[in-house]
């Protein structure tokens, strides 16, 4: 019981730290947006009719990228690279299954034969929202 309480308090503390960090990043972003928008407005008024818009655009693009990194943190790195190539026969089969899916009776038979595990819900495809489903076109 005590161990569960300790784990729960650790999770709460971690969430609190993450929230605090996010708030700091948002404040930093808001400060940078406030200063860049005021300097951007005065700069655009000063440079009307002047050439050199490309350097201003480059500067603004860089500021935007910096602002995103302030909010989101460092760019995520790929966890894994690509694996070795598959046998061409397997590629043909899998491409067909993944692209067009299985026929309904085959899919139901496999679903009955191999039950979905209770502890891994991500193995099951999510239900499609009826509004989204209605807007999709069947091909």
Helix %, strand %, coil % of the chain (to 5): 70, 0, 30
- Residue range 19-65, pLDDT digits in tens: 888 888 888 777 777 755 444 444 444 444 444 455 665 665 666 55
Instruction: Give 74's DSSP letter.
Output: S
Cα–Cα distance list, 17 to 24, 34, 73, 105, 111 (Å): 11, 26, 15, 50, 43
| pTM listed for this prediction | 0.31
d(CA 89, CA 11): 47
Cβ atoms of 68 and 36 closer than 8 Å: no
């Amino acid at each position: 019981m005590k161990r569960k309480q300790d784990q729960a308090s650790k999770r709460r503390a971690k969430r609190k730290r993450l929230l605090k960090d996010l708030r700091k990043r948002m404040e930093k972003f808001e400060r940078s947006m406030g200063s860049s928008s005021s300097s951007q407005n005065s700069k655009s008024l000063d440079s009307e009719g002047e050439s050199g818009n490309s350097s201003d655009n480059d500067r603004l693009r860089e500021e935007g990228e910096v602002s995103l990194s302030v909010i989101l943190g460092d760019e995520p790195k790929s966890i894994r690279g690509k694996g070795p190539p598959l046998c061409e026969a397997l590629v043909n089969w899998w491409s067909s299954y993944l692209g067009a899916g299985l026929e309904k009776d085959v899919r139901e038979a496999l679903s009955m034969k191999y039950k979905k595990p209770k502890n891994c819900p991500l193995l099951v495809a999510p239900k499609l929202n009826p509004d989204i489903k209605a807007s999709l076109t069947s091909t």
